[in-house]
Each structure stands twice: as structure tokens, then as C-alpha cells.
Amino acid sequence: MSDDLNALKPIVIKRKIKANHPPHGGAWKVAYADFVTAMMAFFLLLWLLNVTTEQNKQGISNYFEPDTSEEEKSSGSGQALSGLAQIAEGALKSAGSPPSVTVAIATAGSKTGGDEGKEDKKDAAALAEAEEKRLQTELESFAKVEAEIRQALQEIPELNDMQDSLMIDYTPEGLRIQILDQEDIPMFVTGRAVLNDHGRKMLAIVANVITKMPNPVVLTGHTDTSKSSKRNYGNWELSGDRANTARRVMVEFGLGATKIAKVAGKADKELLFPDKPSSPLNRRISIILQKQKPLTELPQQASAGDAESEG
């Protein structure tokens, strides 16, 4: 009976299908770690760019500048931008970033900063050399003027006694020629702005010599401390009138009127002998042949003319 039951019992066959999964490795973890590292480096770079000053950026840029020839650097050829950093307008910057500075890029035909510096040094050296030669020439001209005036006095017998009345020296303003009164040989009539014969001849000699010079002339009258007997007419008026009289006489004897830059009276405020305020030697006419302006102070007329001709 039991054998019959076993014979009637259905046979069930179970088939188990195993999935063919690939083995689970760690390659994805390595890729993810590389990605995270790259992102960290990227944000670190952004932070460094934000806190770095423009000077440091320029220094880094110059450090990595390609080693090109001087000609390529001056013309802007070779590598792109020639290693110079440039910040484009409208570039996004964080609120905390320092102010940017745009670096000019050298273009074709332009000079680099080094070339301009060399040219400036050459120009300055040439200008200094020219100024030195000009000063030397001017000093030689002043010495020639002094020699000619003294020689003219020696050649005129009636003026031999007035050689002691002539004083010539060099001042920061230029060559100073002073004609002094002597006790027995004055230049002007006492208390008046009227020249005597000796004074006219002395001024005539000086005018004939200095009229050859291009330098401006300054005339100044001086008195001693003696008081004038005229009412409302003191040493200020007397010194100014005598200087103006000297101007008229020198123009009469050949000095160009346009060369006279200034006529003034100093009264007794600049005594030649302060320890002897009443000495007649303090009464004098001072004629200063002014130094010409240095080349550095002259207007650049030649440069302006070149610019107009090119335009």
C-alpha cells in the first residue's frame, strides 16, 4: 500500500539558476577619491587667487615667462601675451578680492620699460654734458667782458684815476660790474641823479662791451646813509632815479633796451661797507649780467615743432 502511494506521488524537480554577477571591486572608490582631491585642489586654488595680491601675481607670472629674445619681447611676438598677465574687463571677482591692475601688453614698434629707461639715461647724460659746456662757455665770456672793460679803462688816460672805482666779481646771479663813487671822483652830482663826465664815460665803456652778450641786464642804484636835504625825496627816490639815469645813458651808448630786465633802487639797504655806512664807496651803480637759464628750464620748442610737422 505504501509502495502504491509512493508510486502515485509526483516528482518535483527544482532548478536553481545562479546569477552571473561580476566581482565587486574598489575601482569606483579610487575614482571618487581622485574627484574629491581634484575638487579640493580647485577650491584651494580659488582661495589662493582671492587672497594673493596683484604684485605677487605679477611676480609669479614673470617667473613663468618664457625666455624669449629681446626683439620678441619688445615686439610682443613669440608666446601668447609674452608671459604678461592681463585681467579682462568684466571678469567675475569676489567681493573680498583686492583691486585689479591691468598690465599693458607690449605691441609692435613700442619700447619696453628697460629701453625707455636707457633712452632717458642717455638723454639726461647728453643734457648734463651740454649744460656743462654752456656754463663753461658763459664763464669764458664773462672773463672776456671783464678783460675788455679793464683794458678800455687803461687805454683812456682821463679814466686811469677811475680804475679804483671799478669792481667786478661773480655772484650766483651772474657777472656783477659795480661803479663806485670815490671821495674826489664821484659819478653823480651830489644829491642828484645827474651824471658827470666821468660817470658817462664809465657807463659808455660798459655798455659797448656788454651789448655783445645775449645775457639780460639788471641795473641797481645804491646810496650811503646820508640824508637828503630835499623834502619828500630820500635815498629810495635818489637810488631809483640814478639807476634809471644809468639805464638811459647805457641805451644811448649802444646797449639794447630789450636786454634790460630790471631797474631798481635799493637806497642804503645793501651797503658795500656796512662798517662804514657813510662811506662814498657805498654810493654805486650795480650792473649785473645775468646768467642764462639752464637748458633743463628752456621750453621744448624743438620737440613741439617736430610734433607739429609730423602731424
Q: Which residue from 208, 198, 287 is spatially nearest to 252, judged by alpha carbons?
A: 208
List residues bridging with 176 in a β-sheet: 169, 288
User: With 80 as the cut, is the pLDDT of residue 79 above it?
Assistant: no
Distance between CA atoms of 240 and 288, rounded to whole angstroms?
16
Span of 44-58, 219-233, 255-269, 288-302 with lowest mean pLDDT: 288-302
Which CATH code for domain 124-293? 3.30.1330.60
Which is it for the CA torsion 15, 18, 20, 21, positive or negative? positive
199-229 per-position pLDDT tens digit: 999 999 999 999 999 999 999 999 999 988 8
Q: Provide the residue ranges of all domains of the chain, joining segments of one domain with +.
A: 124-293
The residue ranges of DSSP E strands in 115-230, in sequence order, are 166-171, 174-180, 217-222
User: With 90 as the cut, is the pLDDT of residue 76 above it?
Assistant: no
234-256 per-position pLDDT tens digit: 999 999 999 999 999 999 999 99
Backbone dihedral region for residue 98 (phi beyond 0: left; psi -120 to 50: alpha; all else: beta): beta
What pLDDT is attached to residue 298? 60
What pLDDT is attached to residue 8? 63
Pairing of strands 217-222, 260-265: parallel
> What grid cell was written down for 186?
664821484
Rounded to a whole number, what is the distance in angstroms from the first to the last CA of the chain?
132
* Helical spans, DSSP H, in 227-300: 235-252
pTM of this structure: 0.59
